[in-house]
Amino acid sequence: MGVLAILAPGQGAQKPGMLTDWLELPGAEPFFRWAGAIADADLLSLGTSGDAEAIKDTAVTQPLVVAMSLFVARELGGLPGPVAHTPHAGRDVVITGHSVGELTAAALAGVLSVEAAIALTAVRGRAMAAACAQIPTGMSAVLGGDPAEVTTALEKHGLTPANMNGGGQVVAAGPLDGLAALKADPPAKARIMPLSVAGAFHTDYMASARAELEGLVGGLRPAAPSRLLLSNADGAAVTTGAEALARLVSQVTSPVRFDACLATLRELGVTAAIELPPAGALAGLAKREWKGSGIEILTLTGPADLDRARELIAAERGRAEAQHLPDWRVVVAPARGTVSPADVPEGTRLPAGTPLGCIRGRREEVNVSAGYDGVLAEWLVHEGDLVDAGDPIARLYPEVAE
């Protein structure tokens, strides 16, 4: 069955003038004026005439990126979008975002209204900007190097792996002096690239921002996802609106595991992926992580790309309707370590996202879950078995959603 992935970018993907070309589309200018009113920021001016410094401001960049992604998703026509969410039981589209892009993803999956997603993003951006102002911190991308050596170097300099992006990229976050020391003494075969961000996102330095969001989200009424929605926490599917909202709050101080999201997408059998604008960063990660897979990856860089995106949406939907489900699919280990299967009897029906156990490695514990609806046909491992990344753990019979 064809599966199309929709990737929603986060902060750092923004570029000066990124809205300009899109304003030729009908309804674009009023949409961004409306979104700006919700966010209490002049998103239209920032996205057209704002320079690199202006659009680096966390307080305004986050709602600008989310609003842009949501507008273009609406233009695609084949997704639940900013005007009305259409619940869709099919699994032909799976949505995931990176960092603040998870709010875009939540809106596209129907968990939040577009108004709520933009408003919550604006609060998040202002709260994180305030947290950044408390202590000078920052982030740097670590490109390449042995993963164990990179981890050791980060620990040595008091830094946190805030983003594990896949494709050989880890983002270190923490005090500026630690980042400077890392750049001066990088791990072997690794390149350090300082990022243009205001502080150490996705670490405990953002605790005040997380607390502010926790005091706010109780007033929201999230819906269950109408599309398969993957979480940055572990790459697993989110099954309820309440869980999605809780994860949106906790991710402010938790690492982004986009590598796990990419692994889940590949396991789901994704045949094409579309990155919403401001596009480029996530497509680059996916191309490196999925090298040789044959998965088509489209970056929406301007209105001229919309026709191809609509073709991919139509093609994947057509495949999903025309092809029967495979007789069975395999759940694989996302990492090397000792497996601890969940206490789930064979023959049990498993909704997408059902926990199936964990893999305990030397440095971390990685959760495993069902990436799609199905019936557990057979366990292929036992408690304490040693597995490598990609080894089969369980076999599932897929179910057709009604």
CATH for 359: 2.40.50.100
Please give the Cα distance from 229 to 248 (Å, whole number): 12
Q: Does residue 108 sit in the same domain as residue 178?
A: no
Residue 207 Cα to chain centre, angstroms: 21
Q: Does residue 341 sit in the same domain as residue 303?
A: no
- Residue 381 CB neighbours (<10 A): 19
Which pTM does this prediction carry?
0.77
Q: Does residue 94 sit in the same domain as residue 32?
A: yes
Domain that holds residue 38: 3-130+205-322
Q: Does residue 315 sit in the same domain as residue 339?
A: no
The answer for residues whose C-beta is within 8 angstroms of residue 24's C-beta and 6 or more apart is: 303
Q: Which listed residue (69, 85, 98, 99) is catalytic?
A: 99
Please give the Cα distance from 395 to 346 (Å, whole number): 10
Can you give the pLDDT of all 402 residues of the chain as single tens digits?
568 999 999 998 899 999 999 999 999 999 999 999 999 999 999 999 999 889 889 999 999 999 999 999 988 875 544 333 333 334 478 999 999 999 999 999 999 999 999 999 999 999 999 999 999 999 999 999 999 999 999 999 999 999 999 988 999 999 999 999 999 999 999 999 998 888 999 999 999 999 999 999 988 999 989 889 999 999 999 989 999 999 999 999 999 999 999 999 999 989 999 999 999 999 999 999 999 889 999 999 999 999 999 888 877 665 555 444 455 677 888 778 899 999 999 889 888 888 999 999 887 888 888 877 788 888 999 999 998 877 788 888 776 443
Q: Does residue 307 sit in the same domain as residue 262?
A: yes
Q: Does residue 123 sit in the same domain as residue 163?
A: no
Q: Which listed residue (88, 98, 202, 254) is catalytic?
A: 202
pLDDT value for 81 = 40
Q: Does residue 32 sit in the same domain as residue 107?
A: yes
Domain of 287: which CATH number?
Answer: 3.40.366.10
Domain boundary among 322, 347, 379: 322
Domain of 166: which CATH number?
Answer: 3.30.70.250
Length of the chain: 402
Q: Does residue 25 sit in the same domain as residue 58?
A: yes
pLDDT value for 400 = 47
Q: Does residue 97 sit in the same domain as residue 46?
A: yes
Domain boundary among 322, 354, 389: 322
Query: Annotated catalytic, 382?
Result: no
Q: Name the CA dihedral angle for 115, 116, 117, 120, rounded to a multiple of 10 degrees.
A: 120
Question: For the segment 145-182, what is each residue's pLDDT rounded down to a tens digit?
Answer: 999 999 999 999 999 999 999 988 999 999 999 999 99
Q: Does residue 232 sit in the same domain as residue 192?
A: no
pLDDT value for 319 = 57
Please give the Cα distance from 53 to 13 (Å, whole number): 14
Q: Total domain count for the chain?
A: 3
pLDDT value for 198 = 87
Angle in degrees, CA 97, 146, 284, rounded to 5: 30
Query: Hey, what are 98's tokens?
Result: 């990176």
Q: Does residue 223 sit in the same domain as residue 162?
A: no
Beta-sheet strand order (sheet of 329-332): 329-332, 392-398, 374-379, 349-350
Please give the Cα distance from 288 to 166 (Å, whole number): 8
Question: For the segment 263-319, what is each residue's pLDDT rounded down to a tens digit?
Answer: 999 999 899 999 999 999 999 999 999 998 899 999 999 999 999 998 888 776 655
pLDDT value for 402 = 36
Q: Does residue 158 sit in the same domain as residue 295?
A: no
Query: Annotated catalytic, 113?
Result: no
